[in-house]
Structure 1
């Protein structure tokens, strides 16, 4: 998956996909700010490495990647990548099937 992004010289290097994957995981886990994303990554790294370099990107790195990346190009690349892998199948990630709302079945308790 390739799309345009700006790279700065100096400092530790992280593959772009690692930073984006980390951001996605943190947001799915509930992080809503750059600081919360870095805190989530630091917490997650205590249990399992979140990057190949065994370190966590800094707040500045997360902020720079998220604010300089071309969102439309990223969306097109991810959409294309997912489309190639799922062919014509639909993928639901909102939990309706688990809760039984899809076919008006009995609700399954998914609350913690």
Structure 2
């Protein structure tokens, strides 16, 4: 499951369908990695459906695709899936279509869109200082041809909402020398 969608599991009192429909308004920040030819479903509908399934409890790509396949027609229609022109029924994507799309999505752009949605969803705490924790993590099982692992740097408020998350070049820059002193100087 994409790490950005995992942020949605920490949403307080989620309402899967309503929140996913609201999220689709923020998905304009996410570029569509698919070719222009052969697009049958809108990007916002596919990602909103994946988000609704995560909010409903799906924790894997298989569970996400099963939730979408089992969703009632009115829910799929609300998420933005089109009616089949000949039958008038709502068609949903094949599981492989959704898996291919989720793998190709720009993780940073999706993370920004979900972060903006979660920020807009929360109520402001009022005037004053806001505590933010910053931490870096190496993702297990994220080896690529050029790197032994992918490292993410995340900023989170103390209610558990991820404010921003970025992939960084090297874990040593997060944990040690360069990042921590700049953060402490800015706080003073």
TM-score normalised over the length of structure 2 = 0.40
Cα deviations by residue, 1:11-61 (Å, 9 ceiling, x for unpaired):
x61111111110011111121222221211122125x24143111111111
From 28, 34, 41, give the equivalent of 2:55. 28
Matches of 2:75 and 2:107 in 1, distance apart?
27
CA change 1:39–1:81 in 2 (3 A) is closer
Higher relative contact order, structure no. (Cα contacts within 8 Å, ≥ 6 residues apart): 1
Name the counterpart of 2:69: 42
Check conservation: 2:41, 2:93, Cα contact below 8 A: yes
Larger radius of gyration between Structure 1 and Structure 2: 2
**Mapping 1:52-71, distance limit 5 Å:** 52-53=81-82, 54-71=90-107
The aligned counterpart of 1:2 is 29
CA contact (8 A) 2:53 2:67 kept: yes
Q: Root-mean-square deviation (CA), in Å?
A: 2.8
* Structure-1-length-normalised TM-score: 0.62
SS at match of 1:22: helix
What residue is the counterpart of 1:75 in the other structure? 111
Q: In the comparison of the two structures, how many residue pairs are matched? A: 90
Is the CA contact (8 Å cut-off) linking 1:22 and 1:41 kept in structure 2? Answer: yes
Distance of 1:81 and 1:40 partners within structure 2: 22
Query: Between Structure 1 and Structure 2, which shows a larger proportion of strand residues?
Result: 2
